[in-house]
Amino acid sequence: MATVGLDKLFYAPITEVATTGDETYGIPVMLAKAMTAELSVELAEATLYADDGASEVVKEFKNGKLTLGVDNIGRNTAQALTGAATDDNGVLISASEDGGNPVAIGFRAKKSNGKYKYIWLYRVKFAVPSTSLSTKGDSITFSTPSIEGTVMRRNKLDKQGKHPWKAEVDEGDKDVLPATINAWYTSVYEPNFK
């Protein structure tokens, strides 16, 4: 179903277990007011040819690119996402050596039926935000930042022995419990396979 909106953009810090690299997630925090979210995915692909034709094709998630258009990236969010630091005068300082830690990113998109699609991307590493500014002319034009991140798979295996990179659910699907939707932003969703 088509989507007609985007809101509730959150991030959750990741702590990695030193011996395994498995992720645990902190409490989700509002990132900014969401304007746009563009997710593109790159696949690793291989084709096995036999008897003069394609016999097997394998396509696996390699990584993705997430570009977020937001109303503002505050000082605390910039620190959390990019590794920038605040000096003793409260000024945000970005250095060439900065390289923030990966975070989980969650958001929702309103569908044309009034329900929502909820998404968590389990591991995203962001670059320094880009900004486009222009002088005021005859009309008012808003200038807002965008930030681009690389989406990666989790280190932690799920109960099926796979490395998930995204969780998504459509509100209102018959097998989706209301508790799943209600808890979406209280913590990063963990796969639940029996």
pLDDT tens per residue across span 65-93: 999 988 888 888 888 888 888 899 989 88
**Closest to 116 in 3D by CA, of 173, 49, 186, 166:** 173
Domain residue limits, the chain: 7-34+68-134+142-179
pTM value?
0.86
Q: Give the pLDDT confidence of 106-138 residue by residue, as tens digits.
A: 999 999 999 999 999 999 999 877 777 777 778
CB 65 within 8 A of CB 40: yes
The single residue listed with the structure tokens 């016999």 is 55
